[in-house]
Structure 1
C-alpha cells in the first residue's frame, strides 16, 4: 500500500498525466453511494509491477471456470480499432487461453471499425432495432486512426465530435438494456512511435478523449448517462506504456489487467466473489440480522433507562452536610453492582461493537483493498514487535515448565505473527506459510496440554467446567454468525478447538476416570491412561484416512449446520486433518511432564536448569538442531500439498524443540515478556475480530479507514481493533459469570434456555434458506 509514481510521458501535459485517483483520495466514505464501479472504471494504482489496486474496492482474479459460468449464454461485442482488438484478445484469454472466440455458449465478437464514422454508426444502429438480439456487453472506442489518417488536423477532430455526437443517442438507447462501455484512448510513448504514427501525440489523444467524455456524458439532458466511461486503462498505460513494443499498443500484462477489470465490472454483481467488492451491491439484511439489531437496540435502551434511574437514585441518596459540624453524613453504603446491570451494560457495549463490525465489513461504508505481499511488509513488522517484546521483561510468579505467564507470552507473540502474516498476504510465500502452520499447531498443542493438565490434576469433570470453556470459546463466534450472516465453520479455528476440547473431555471422563490423585504413581493406572490415549490415536487415524466416514458423521443434522461450508464439510475435514495429531501430542507431553514432575525428576527451582548440566546441554543441542532442521525443510518446500501431508507428523518436532529451548535454562524459565503475555490473554478475540474490523471482505482484503495514507490507516485501524478485542474479552468474562452459574439447578435452567435459543435459531435459519431458494 503506497502512493505510486506516475512518470511523465514524453509529449504529454503534466497536469493531464495525473491519475483520476488523486481527485478522490480523501473521500473516506467513498463507497456510501454503492457505486464502486465508477472507481473501478476510472481510478486506482499499482501495488507492484503487475498488481492493480482499484480505488476503494477489491478486484477479483477470475479463473476460467468462473468466467465461463458468469458469461454463459451471453453475447459480448467489441467494436473499434487495433487497441480494442487487443483488449478483445485479452478478454478471450480469460475465458479460453486457446483464443477460441466461442465456447461454452459464450459468444464473443470483434468488429473492425477503426474510426468513429458512418460505418460504426450503422453497426450500432442495427443493434438498436427491436427485432435484433442485442449484445449483453458492448465495448467500443476509437480515435488514433482518425489522428493518423488526417495527420492530426483540427478538421479531423471537429469531424470526430460530429460523428460521436451522432452515435451518442444510439449508445444511450443500447445502454438501457445492455452494458455499454466507451474506452478512452490510452497515452502513447512518442519516442517509440514509427514515422507514420508520429502525428499521434498525447496532446491530440487528450483532446479526443475530452471530446468523447463531454459529448457522451451530455447525451441525456435530465439524468446521468448510462454509457460508462472506461478511463482506467489510461492510468494503467501511464505506468506501462514505456514497455510497449511500438509505443502505441500496451504490453500484454497491462492488457490482461484491463480485461480483468472489465470482467470484474460485469461479473462481480452476478457471481458475488468474496474478494471482489467492486460493483457488488450491499448484501440484503436477513431476518436473523434484523432480530439481532432489535435485540441490541433494546439492550442499549434498557441500559440507558437503568443508568438514568440508578443515577437519579444516587443523587437522592447523596450524603448531606451537618450544619453544626460542617461534615458530610455518610448514610448510604456502596451496594454491589447487580447482575442485571452487568448484563445490560455488556449487551449495550456488545451492540455498539457489533454495529462497528457490520459497518466495516457489510455496509459498504468503508473502503477495502487487496493484499499485496512483499518480504519487507512481513519481516520488518515481525522484527519490530519481537524487539519491542524483549524490552518488557518481568519475573514469573512460578518457574514451572509452561507456567501461566509463559503460555500467555507464547500465545501472544504467535498471535501477533499470525496477524502480520494475514494482513501482509504472506500466505503466497510458501516458507512463511509452513512456519505459520506450526504456530497454529502450537495453539492446538496448548489446547491438548492445558485441558489434559487441568482434568488430570483437578479431576473436575463437572458440567460447569465444560459450559464455561464452551461459552468462552464460542460466544463471540455465535454472535458474529448472527450479525455478519456467516456459517459457524467460517471461523474455522473456534470449531477446531471446541471439538478437540470435547474429544479431550470425553477421552478422560469416560470410564475408567483416571486422574493424578487416583493413579498416585501407580504404574497400572498410568498404563490404563496410556491405553486410553492409544485408542484415541487409533480413532484419529481412522477418521484421517476415512474421509467418507468423517463426512457422514459431520453431515448429520444438526452437526451439518455447524460444520458445512458451501454445502459440504470438505473444508472442515481439511482443517481438522491438517493438525490431527498435535492435540494428542500435547496430551502425551502433559502426561509425561506431570509424571516426571510427580517423581521429582525435574529441577524447577528459580535459575536452575531443568536437568543436570550434561543432560540439559545435550537436550539443548538436540533441540536447536531439530528446530533449525525443521525450518530448513519448511523453507525448501516447493509444493504446498506435499508439505501439508507431512506437516501433521513433523510439526511437533519444532514445537517440542521450542518448549525445551524456552524451559531447560533456568534463567529463561524465570522471565517472560509482559508485552506478549497481554496480547496472549486476548489472543482468541484478536484472531476472530481480525476477520471483519482489521482485514476486510472476510479476511481476503484490508480495511481502509483512512484512504491515501497506508501507514496512518494501519495505526488507527490496529488501535481500534486491539481495543475492541480487549473489550470483547472483558464482556465475555462478565457474561460467562452470569450466564453460566456454579449452582447446578440454575445452570440446567440456563442450558434449557440456551437450547431453546439455538432451536429457534435453527428454525429461522431454515426459513431463510427456503426463502433464498
Structure 2
C-alpha cells in the first residue's frame, strides 16, 4: 500500500479511537432500554419514497428490517405453530401469513379455503412444516385464547419441553392478539370503555414485564443455536379511515373512542415492553392506497407489512446468527466479546509505535526496512479490525440509503471545488530518458498523460464514485451512465499504464507479475475470510485483475513482435477477439472459474463476472493501442497527436485548436445522445462497450491540450488516486455497511 505520513496515520488512529469510544457510549446508553433494537422496530419508523418505481418502503428508526421470503419463514417457523386471535382485522394478518409462507403449489388451496370459510369461524392452514391457525375471538374472552396463553412460554419449544414435562399442548412460536377496540366501539354503546377494559384485563396477567425479560433472556440464550424464542404481540386498536366508514359505523367508531382506548393500552402496557406493536397505527397514511374501500380494514399490502414487522421481531436474530449476509439489524442480539477493547488496544499500541520518538529509536537501533514492514503490517491489521468493527458488529447503526438528487449533486460539486482549490504545479520527470530541455518538449513523463495526471483522474472519479454509492445514486439512470464511464476510464488508464511500462522496460518477470497481482487482490482475497463475503463482492478487483492478465499474456507471447507496430496491432486485434469469445461464449468462463477455485480456493460468481467484463470488453484495448502509439512516438522523439501544445509551429497550434473543438463537440454530442435517447439501462449497457472510449479520449486530449494544463495537477484527487483501488474495496465495510447496502451512523444524533 502507498506510504503515508506517520503523523497523518496517528491522526487517523486517534479519529478511529474516538469513534469507538463514542459508539461504545451510545451502545451502553441505548442498551439499557432497547438492547436488541426491538423497540425501535415496534414503535418508530417512517416512509421512504426513494426506491425504484416511486414505491414506498417502511423503514424503522435506527435499524433495518427485511422482507422475509417463504423459504426464510419456513426455516424460522420450522415445525412450529403460529396463532392469530381476534376480529376481522387480525384475520387479515392470517391471510397475509398464508400467502407469505405458502409456496406456489399452495395458492390454489388458499383460494379454496378463502371461499369456503365462514365469516365468523376459526380457520386452520398448513404449508409444509408451518401450521397457521386463526381463532375468531373479537372480545378476547374465549377458552381457546386462555388455553393458548396458559401454555405460552418465551423459551423455544425444545428447551421448554425439556424443562417442563407433562404439558397438554406446546407453546406456539408466535401469537398475535387483536385488542377488541373496534368491536367495543361499534357494539358497546356508552359502556364501550368498560367492555374494552374487561377484555384487556383478561390478558394482562400473561403480558407482564417478566415476560418481556424472559424473551430478552431467551434471545441471548439461543444466540447462534438456530432456535428462536417464542413471541407474543397484542396489536393496538386500529385507526380506521374515518371518511370512508359507512354511516352506521361512523356514528360509533369515532376518533375520540379509538384514542381513549389506545391511551388506556399505553397506560396498562409500558412502551418499554416489546410485545405491543404501536407502529401499526403509524403505517397507514393514505386513504387511497393504505385502506380497503370500507375504511375499516387496511389494504393487503399494509396487512403484509404489519405481519412482516412481527416476523422481523421473531426471526431476525436467528437468521443473523446463521448468515452474516443477512441484512436485518432490528431485533438482533449483538455479538458479545471484547472486540472494542482489542481494537482500542491495537490502536493505542499503533499510535505509540508511530510516534516520532519511538519510530526514530527503532530506526536507529535496527533496520529501517524492518520498521517500514512493521508499520505496514500494523496499518493492515488496524484496517481489517476496523472493517470488522464497523460492518461486522452492531455497534454502528446501519441505515437505509436514500437518493436525493439535490444533495448528491451538491456533494459532488463540493468535491470538485475542493479539488480545484488544491491545484499544484507538477515537476517534470523524464522516467530515465534524456533530461535535456529539448527532450522535455517532446516527451513528458510516461507518455502523453503523466503519473500525477493519471492519479488525479482516478482520484476525481473515485471521489464521485464514493458519493454515488453513499447517496444511492444508482437509482438515477443519468448518474449510472456517468459512473459507467468512470469505471471504463479507470480500465483505460490501467491498460495504458501497464502496457507502456512493459513496452518500455520489457520487464515480464514473475516477480513483477506477483507484485501487481498482490496489490490488486490483497484486500479482496483476505476480506472474504474475515467478513464472510465473496471474492466477486468486490467486483472491481477481479475485473481489473482479469484485464491485466489478458494484457500481460498478449504482450508476453511473441514479445519480439511488440517492436513492430503493425504486428502489435494484429496481436491486439486477435486478443480482443479471443477475449470476446471467452467472455460471451457459455461454458468457457465457467471452466476458467472452476479452475481458479480448484487452485486458489476462490469462489467466483460467473454471471456477475460475465456481466462486468462484457460492459468494458473493449476499453482496455483502446488504452493498449494508445500506449503503443505513445511508446512509438517517444522512441522516435516525436510528439504524438494526443500530446498537444508543441510550441513553435503555427500549423501545430492550428491543429491543437481544431482538435480541441472536435473533442468538445464529440463529448457534448455523446452526452446529449446517451442522456436523451437511451432511457433504458439494458439498452445503454448493450451500447456502452462500443462508445465509452469517445468521452474518455476526448477528456484526456483536452486535459493535455495546453502547457498550463499539463504542468499542473490537483493535489487532493492525486492523493486519493494513489489508493483508489483500496478505497473502492474498503468502502464496502468502512464507508458503507451491510456489504455496501446501507449507510453507517455513529448514532449520537439519531439516537437522541
Quickly name the TM-score band, shorter chain normalised: 0.7 to 0.9
Instruction: Report the Cα offset of residue 103 of structure 1.
Output: 8.1
Report the TM-score when normalising by structure 1: 0.72
Name the SS for the 2:478 alignment partner: helix
Q: Distance in 2 between the 1:693 and 1:549 partners?
A: 36
Q: CA deviation at 1:120?
A: 6.0
2:666 match: secondary structure: helix
> Among residues 71, 76, 85, which one is paired with 1:79 in the alignment?
85
Counterpart among 605, 608, 616 of residue 571 in structure 1: 608
Cα distance 1:63–1:625, how it changes in 2: closer, same or farther (>3 A)? farther
Which stretch shows the higher mean deviation, 40-49 or 548-557?
Answer: 40-49
Is structure 2 residue 673 aligned with structure 1 residue 628? Answer: no
Which of residues 557, 570, 583 is equivalent to 2:620?
A: 583
- TM-aligned CA distance change 1:666 to 1:343, over 3 Å: closer
2:568 to 529, 541, 548: 529
Residues 376 and 71 (structure 1), Cα distance of their counterparts in 2 relative to 1, 3 Å cut: farther
- Cα distance, 1:93–1:104 mapped onto 2, change above 3 Å: closer
Q: Which residue of 2 aligns with 1:111?
A: 135
Measured in 2, the distance between the counterparts of 1:295 and 1:109 equals 49
2:658 is aligned to: 617
Please state whether the residue corresponding to 1:52 is helix, strand or coil.
strand
Q: Secondary structure at the match of 1:57?
A: coil
2:278 is the counterpart of 1:231: yes
Change in CA separation of 1:601 and 1:580 when aligned onto 2, cut-off 3 Å: closer
Q: Is the 1:481–1:487 Cα contact (8 Å) retained in structure 2?
A: yes
Deviation for aligned residue 1:232: 1.9
Name 2:41's counterpart in structure 1: 40
Tell me the residue number matched to 2:376. Answer: 346
Asked if 1:53 is matched to 2:50, the reply is: no
Aligned ranges for residues 371-410 of structure 1 at < 5 Å? 371-398=401-428, 401-410=448-457
Aligned partners of 2:151 and 2:404: how far apart in 1? 48
Q: Paired residue for 1:358? A: 388
Are the equivalent residues in 2 in contact too, given 1:300–1:347 (CA < 8 A)?
A: no
Classify the secondary structure of the residue corresponding to 1:691. Answer: coil
Deviates more, 1:146-155 or 1:554-563: 554-563
Equivalent position to 1:140, from 168, 177, 184: 177
- 5+ residue gaps, structure 2, are 1-22, 50-54, 114-124, 153-165, 219-228, 429-443
5+ unaligned residues in a row in structure 1: which ranges? 1-23, 219-223, 315-332, 520-524, 714-773
Corresponding residue for 1:547? 586
Residue matched to 1:259: 307
Q: Per-residue deviation at 1:549?
A: 1.5
For 1:369, the equivalent position in structure 2 comes to 399
1:467: how far off?
3.3
Task: Report if the CA contact (8 A) 2:670-2:694 is conserved.
Answer: no
Partners of 2:357 and 2:457 in 1: how far apart? 45
Of 643, 649, 653, which aligns to 2:690? 649
SS at match of 1:693: coil
Shift of 1:555: 0.9
For residue 276 of structure 2, give the secondary structure of its aligned residue in structure 1: strand
1:268 paired with 2:316, answer yes
Establish whether residue 121 from structure 1 lines up as the match of residue 145 from structure 2.
yes
For 1:312 and 1:542, the matched residues in 2 are separated by 56
Could you tell me whether the CA contact under 8 Å between 2:290 and 2:302 is conserved in 1?
A: no
Contact 2:508 2:556 in 1 (8 A): yes
- Mapped to 1, the partners of 2:644 and 2:533 lie a distance apart of 47
Q: Using the alignment, how far apart are the partners of 2:654 and 2:76 within structure 1?
A: 68
Q: What does 1:212-251 correspond to in 2, within 5 Å?
A: 212=265, 228-237=275-284, 244=291, 248-250=296-298
Q: Across the two proteins, how many residue pairs are aligned to each other?
A: 647
Asked whether the equivalents of residues 607 and 667 of structure 1 are also in contact (C-alpha less than 8 Å), the reply is no
CA positional deviation for 1:447: 1.1
1:418 corresponds to 2:418: no
1:284/1:406 Cα in 2 relative to 1: closer, same or farther (>3 Å)?
Answer: same
CA distance in 2, matches of 1:553, 1:625: 39
Match of 2:524 in 1: 477
Question: Deviation string for 1:67-87 (max 9, x for gaps)?
Answer: 567667664432222332334
Question: Alpha carbon RMSD of aligned pairs, Å?
Answer: 4.4
